Amino acid sequence: MTGQGIAPHEAFELHEILTFKNVCLTKAVTMSALVSDSNLKNILQQDITQTQSEIKELRDLISRSNMALSTQ
């Protein structure tokens, strides 16, 4: 598309990825509370930070979709 956002089918696919990323974030946060190894805890914290950034980016993309514009 040329500057008009993303197509509905792309928004649906982004929503599926967003749902998956939310599950990943929940699992990483839960596991980091249970882990005692500092190296593993650091890896999980990096994953949490990265996933939060990706979730924000996905939300921004979805908000620019034609579907998001039609529901406002």
Spans of all domains in the chain: 7-14+37-67
* Residue 7 near residue 1 (C-beta atoms within 8 A): yes
Please tell me whether the overall predicted TM-score, pTM, comes out greater than 0.85 for this model.
no
Alpha-carbon span 3 to 23, nearest angstrom: 31
- Tell me how far CA of residue 6 lies from CA of 13, 18, 44, 66, in angstroms: 11, 15, 32, 6
Structure tokens that stand for 28 in this block: 């990483």
Alpha-carbon span 33 to 16, nearest angstrom: 26
* Of 70 and 51, more confident: 51
Tell me: the pLDDT tens digits for 13-49? 999 999 999 999 999 999 999 999 999 999 999 999 9
